[in-house]
């Protein structure tokens, strides 16, 4: 193959200043001949966005507020950049499809990126999905829309990227696959005695043993809600029923997930716990390219250990299976309530154990709501947030 046999991939990133967004740009920077950045969106970190704009020279950027848009506009004019600046929800919609990118990386936390993601899928744009909440809240709708538009949803979540790699070339005959097994680090508390859970502090919950991530997903890992959300994400991505989805605690996060086959054998995907690997997998898909990141040394691995999950200690894990099986609005309600509960915990308005209680109560109260249309999904998502948030305003 000649070196010119690949075409340049154009990429836009929703959430470029977050943990995944920054690492996606790091991967892009490692393969400068392969990618062109069309659009970047940021939250409140305007200084970092300005650095990214100088390096990647996108055609469009989106910020949250009009005031930030004015700052960015004058910055671009001082730097003699022709970058277009948009802001707010309508700006995000514009950016998601601007210039018809080959891939839209969705790396905004929570369901904030649901509308722009759906907008991009409707325009036939492939999605690199780092935001599992979108599939939890609206998986049936999003996946059927993606099938209709022949759009790929490529998972940046390490477990799902692992399973996708294990299944490469195998999924043709579903009967071969008996189970998908998601590994879970267990977070900081998997071996902490349950009697001491009422003393867990915000700082303890923010200490993840293996992965450096944003605060929302780090708390989700501590409650193991993250793994629950990933079970629902896997159900939608791989079209597999909940009885064939397993969780296994694997504290060192070396095995990123496994597929069990009907003959009793497994395929696992392994590597260092470094999000640049699954991000690169999605960005360069279906190719595997040499990269400069540190690699796993097999001889340095003393052992690989696995433990059954404790559903009593981590009730949100059970709730996720239950909500997934119930279907309808239950996963959406669970996810929205959890997003608010995590925010309340980070703001030190509720205790660690209150997160699960608040989510469970909200699911019990609202999971029977009906969401026949996409607009209904968005409306219920807002309503759950308002109702849960109001109780602590």
Q: Which residues bind Mg ion (CB under 5 A)?
A: 157-159
* CB of residue 275 to Mg ion, shortest distance in Å: 9
Residues 345/352, Cβ–Cβ less than 8 Å: yes
Residue pair 325/242 in contact by the 8 Å Cβ criterion:
yes
Question: CA quadruple 356, 358, 361, 363: dihedral positive or negative?
Answer: negative
CA dihedral 50, 91, 120, 34 (to 10 degrees): -20
Q: Which is nearer to Mg ion, 157 or 260 (CB)?
A: 157
Nearer to Mg ion among residue 39 and residue 309 (C-beta)? 309
Choice between 83 and 257, CB closer to Mg ion = 257
- Residue closest to Mg ion when measured from CB atoms: 157
CB of residue 216 to Mg ion, shortest distance in Å:
13
Q: Which is nearer to Mg ion, 62 or 283 (CB)?
A: 283
| Whole-number Å distance between alpha carbons of 161 and 158 | 5
Residue 290 contacts residue 205 (beta carbons within 8 Å)? no
In the block, tokens 């990133």 appear at 13
Nearer to Mg ion, 156 or 356 (CB): 156
DSSP result, 306-350: -B---TTT-HHHHHHHHHHHH-TTHHHHHHHHHHHHHHHHHTTSS
Closest contact distance (angstroms) between CB of 338 and Mg ion is: 15
To the nearest whole angstrom, how small is the minimum distance from the Cβ of residue 380 to Mg ion? 25
Strands (E), the chain: 9-14, 35-41, 60-63, 84-87, 103-106, 126-129, 153-155, 177-184, 245-249, 255-261, 266-270
- The residue with tokens 């309530």 is 337
Q: Closest separation between CB of residue 38 and Mg ion, Å? A: 27
Smallest separation (angstroms) from Mg ion to the CB of 237: 12
When the beta carbons of 38 and 134 are compared against Mg ion, the nearer one is 134
């Amino acid at each position: 193959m000649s070196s010119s046999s690949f075409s340049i991939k154009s990429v836009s990133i929703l959430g470029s200043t977050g943990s995944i967004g920054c690492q996606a740009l790091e991967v892009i920077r490692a393969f400068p001949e392969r990618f062109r950045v069309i659009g970047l969106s940021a939250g409140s970190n305007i200084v970092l966005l300005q650095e990214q704009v100088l390096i990647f020279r996108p055609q469009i950027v989106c910020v949250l507020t009009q005031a930030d848009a004015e700052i960015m506009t004058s910055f671009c004019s001082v730097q003699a950049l022709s970058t277009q600046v948009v802001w707010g929800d309508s700006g995000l919609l514009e950016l998601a499809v601007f210039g018809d990118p080959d891939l839209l990386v969705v790396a905004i936390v929570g369901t904030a990126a649901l509308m722009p993601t759906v907008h991009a899928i409707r325009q036939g744009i492939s999605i690199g999905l780092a935001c599992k909440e979108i599939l939890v809240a609206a998986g049936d709708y999003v996946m059927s829309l993606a099938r209709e538009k022949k759009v790929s949803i490529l998972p940046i979540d390490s477990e799902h990227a692992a399973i996708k790699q294990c299944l490469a070339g195998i999924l043709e005959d579903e009967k071969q696959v008996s189970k998908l097994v998601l590994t879970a680090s267990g977070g900081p508390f998997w071996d902490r005695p349950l009697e001491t859970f009422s003393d867990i502090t915000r700082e303890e919950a923010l200490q993840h043993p293996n992965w450096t991530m944003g605060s929302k997903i780090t708390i989700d890992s501590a409650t193991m809600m993250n793994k629950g959300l990933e079970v629902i994400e896997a159900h939608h991505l791989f079209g597999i029923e909940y009885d064939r989805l397993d969780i296994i605690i694997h504290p060192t996060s070396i095995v990123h997930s496994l597929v069990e086959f009907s003959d009793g054998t497994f395929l696992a995907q392994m590597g260092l716990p470094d999000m640049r690997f699954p991000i690169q997998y999605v960005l360069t898909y279906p190719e595997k390219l040499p990269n400069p990141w540190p690699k796993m040394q097999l001889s340095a691995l003393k052992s690989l250990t696995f433990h059954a999950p404790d559903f009593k200690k981590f009730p949100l894990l059970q709730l996720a299976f239950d909500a997934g099986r119930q279907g309808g609005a239950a996963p959406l309600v669970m996810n929205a309530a959890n997003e608010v509960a995590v925010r309340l915990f980070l703001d030190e308005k509720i205790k660690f154990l209150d997160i699960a209680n608040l989510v469970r109560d909200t699911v019990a109260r609202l999971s029977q709501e009906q969401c026949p249309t996409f607009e209904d999904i968005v409306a219920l998502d807002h309503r759950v947030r308002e109702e849960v948030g109001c109780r602590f305003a």
